[in-house]
Each structure stands twice: as C-alpha cells, then as structure tokens.
Amino acid sequence: MSGRKRIYVDEGEWNRLRQEAGKLAELKRDMPKIVDRIRARTQADIETSMREVDQRHARFEQAMGELSEHTREVERETARRMRENSDRVHREMAAQGEQLRAETSEALRQQQENLTRAIDRERRERERKHAEIGAKVEVMRAHHDRAERIAREYVSDAKVLRDQVAQYPHERYLPDRFTSLEARLTTLLSNVDSGLGAHSLSAAQELCLSFSELRLDLDRLDQEWRTCRIAAERDLVRLRELLAQNEKIELRGRLATTDLPDVDHWSRGALSRLATEVDSLLAQVRDDAQPMTTEALLVVVDTVPEYEQRLETVVTQAVTAMQAAQLRTNLAELIAGALDHHHHYQVTTAGFASEDQRETFLAKSVHHVSGSEIVIEVEPGERADAPPLVRLHNFDADGASEAERAARTKSIHRNVLEHSGIDLRATEEFAEPDDRKRDIEPLLAAGAELPRGTVRPTPGQTGGRA
C-alpha cells in the first residue's frame, strides 16, 4: 500500500544542536583594526566639530575688544574657562575613542554632569562680579549724565553679545529665548535714543547679563550635542566594522572549513537587513540638514548594544542553518542507509531543492526487483528555531503490506538512533503519496520551486514512535 509518512525529529536533540551552534558562532572582534577604522572615519569629524567650537571662541575673544570695561572684566574670565572646558571635552572624546568604552552612554552623561557643574560654578562667579559692578553703578544712578552713558555702554555690550549668541543654533537648543531678548533690546535702544537711558540703566545691565547667560547655556548645550553626536557616530562606525568582520565566519569543531560561509546567505538576508538599519541610523546621525536632538543621539548610543546582540543572533542563526542543512543531509543518508541494508532499496537521485542547501533535501530510493520507490524529503522547520521535518513518500509497486512498511519504519528509527542519537517519531499523513514528488530531478534544478506538502505540523504534534 502506498502512502505518505511524516517523521518528527526529537525537540531535545534539536535544541542541543542549536545550543552547539551558539557556541560555534562566536563574533570576530579584531579590535586593533576596528580602532584604526574608527580613528580614520571619525577623527576628521571630531576635528571639524572642535574647530568650529575653537573658531567661535576666537571670534568671541576678538569681540571682547568692543565691550565696555565693566563687561569685559567679567567676560574675559568666562571666555578663558569656557575654552578650558572645550579643550577638556575634546581630550575626553579622544580618550573614549581610543578605549572603545562599552559604557559610552554612562560616560556621556557623566561628562554632561561635569560640564553642567562647571557652567554653574561659572554662573555663580559671574553673578558675584555683576553684583559688585551693580553696586558701583547704583552709586552713579544719581548722576544723570553718567547713568545715561553707562546705560548706552550696556546696550552696546548687549548688541555685541547678541551677535555672539546668534552664531549658535539657539532655536534648536532653547527656542524663543533669543527672540525674546532681541525684542527687549529693541525696546531699550528706542528708550536710549529717546533720552531715557538713565532710567533704563538697570534694564540695560540686566539685558546684558541675560545675553551672556544665554551664551553660557547655549555653549553647554552645543558641547553636549557635539559630544553625543560624535559618540553615536563612533559607536555606529564600530558596529558597522563588526558587521563587516562577520560577513564570513570562521567555524570551529566539526563544522570547520576553509570555504568560509556567507552569513548573509545562511541567515536569509538578516545580516544585510541589519546593516541597512545601521547605515540608515548613521546617515541620520550625520545629517546636518535635519540634525538629531541630543536626547535622540543618546537613545542611539543606548541602542547600539542591542544591535550588537542582534548581530550575535544573526551569526548564530547562520550557523544553526548550516548545521540544520547538514542534519537534513545526514538524516536522509541514514534513512536511505536503513532502506538499503535491510530492505534492498538503492538511492538513484539526491540533492537539495533548487541546488540551495538552505532548502529541502530530497533523495529517491528504488527497489530494483519490485520497482517500488520511496522519496525521502527532509524539510527545514517552519521557523528558524524549529527542527526539520521528514516525509516518506511510498510508491509501492507490489502492494506492500502494512507489516512490511512498519518494518521499514522500524529499521529507519533504529538506524538513525544508533548512528546519530536522534529519536524519530512517525505518523501516517496521507493514504496516498504526493505524485509531484515522484520525479525529484526537476525539483533539484537551480531555480526550481519545490511544492510543499498540504498539511503542516502543529505545535506539540508527535504521533507514534517510528
């Protein structure tokens, strides 16, 4: 009696093979090469970024010559300490790049806290100095002409500081603050031009201080953004280099081969999809037209370890797929061997569907006396983590009895268990075999589409022992 039999691979043995694949699929990490590539691809960006900061400091130091004496006294020390902060941040960024710190996001947040504390100390010192100057100005308030002159000086200083603040992307960091101060400056200019400068002295001094405070805040936020952007770019470049290093993987143990497998092929494009995501994210980080926020850049930095874990999963998936292909071949050989040794069937044709080792393995065994044929079909599992599924298509020419077929199944079970330790379980699927599988040669040709069985296994289905 002809028919189709479905055979299941023991889940425990399959899980053991998957665990073994995880041990074999160790990521390659050529750290010296990665450091060199990161240095080559990000150092220019670091230098460009810091050059912009240095030029901004230089322009401000030059503009200080246009400030009045009382404002210049305060801003000179501020400018010096801000430059020192920039130099320190630059050194820390370079050090992080050399060390390839795994705790990048934590280092960035610590750096931001340090920068904030430094700016707060600077702000308190400036407030103290402005208070001292304010006390002297208060004495002059009674002298109308002198008060008028000092008010004009403060308004002029505010214009100088306004021009310096305008060089920052202030609307990105602190929306509307610059516009509000500009409106106040316009009002003050009108008052001074109308002869009300003496009455506007306090407002002029406070506006000058506000522009200076805004510059401090913007400089801190700009440095935070630049350090986060460089860190995000550096981590993504490092990840991209890891992806490139693991396009081919060196296998250990019994899977070792000189013909290094292509991870993207065996993972069915998962490596390419991951690389595309990383490249897209890197392009967003580098986008000057629509720059990411500091918070978004920190999210990128926090996400990089997840991408690295996904890369490990992809490599493991590729190795598992290779092992599964070998397992499908071995199962077919063991089944064919049992049919040969105990029932006189001989393999006439065998190979992978469409000449693709990721696909179903097919083998045709023929009993040359009776003319009966058995097609062995070993499919990949429906999911990447599922064991393969075996089908036997029995084309019996001589009306084989159930006892004969049961004997064949028993021989197969015993031979597979003895030589591989895999416990197979079998169940009848259909009373008639799939005629589309009788001639397997067209199915083995490159580009051929393998017709799938009409019934799929359901979770937990085992059937009886083979």
| Residue pair 331/413 in contact by the 8 Å Cβ criterion | no
Chain center to CA of 294: 18
For the segment 376-393, what is each residue's pLDDT rounded down to a tens digit?
999 998 887 788 889 899
**Two structure tokens written together for 116:** 């904030």
Mean pLDDT lowest among 7-11, 288-292, 333-337, 421-425: 7-11
For the segment 414-449, what is each residue's pLDDT rounded down to a tens digit?
998 888 888 887 676 677 888 888 899 998 986 555
Mean pLDDT lowest among 131-135, 276-280, 413-417, 447-451: 447-451
pLDDT value of position 465: 33
DSSP element (H, E) containing 148: helix 144-165
Residue 109 CB contacts under 8 Å (≥ 6 apart), including other chains = 298
- Percentage of the chain surpassing pLDDT 70? 75
Sorted by where each begins, the domain ranges of the chain are 3-18+323-465, 31-235, 238-317
Residue 338 CB contacts under 8 Å (≥ 6 apart), including other chains = 408, 411, 412, 414, 415, 416
Identify the residue with better confidence: 99 or 346.
346
Q: In sequence order, which ranges of 286-391 are alpha helices (DSSP H)? A: 294-343
pLDDT value of position 455: 31
pLDDT over threshold 90, residue 5: no
State the CATH architecture for 3-18+323-465: 2-Layer Sandwich (3.30)
Q: What is the mean pLDDT of residues 183-204?
A: 85
Identify the residue with better confidence: 308 or 146.
308
Residue 335 CB contacts under 8 Å (≥ 6 apart), including other chains = 363, 376, 390, 392, 412, 415, 416
**Burial class, 232, CB count within 10 angstroms (exposed 0-12 / middle 13-18 / buried 19+):** buried
pLDDT value of position 303: 92
pLDDT value of position 364: 95
β-sheet bridge partners, residue 92: none
What is the number of H-type helices and E-type strands within the chain? 13, 7
pLDDT over threshold 80, residue 69: yes
pLDDT value of position 113: 66
| Residue pair 424/390 in contact by the 8 Å Cβ criterion | yes
Mean pLDDT lowest among 27-41, 82-96, 297-311: 27-41
Average pLDDT, the chain: 80
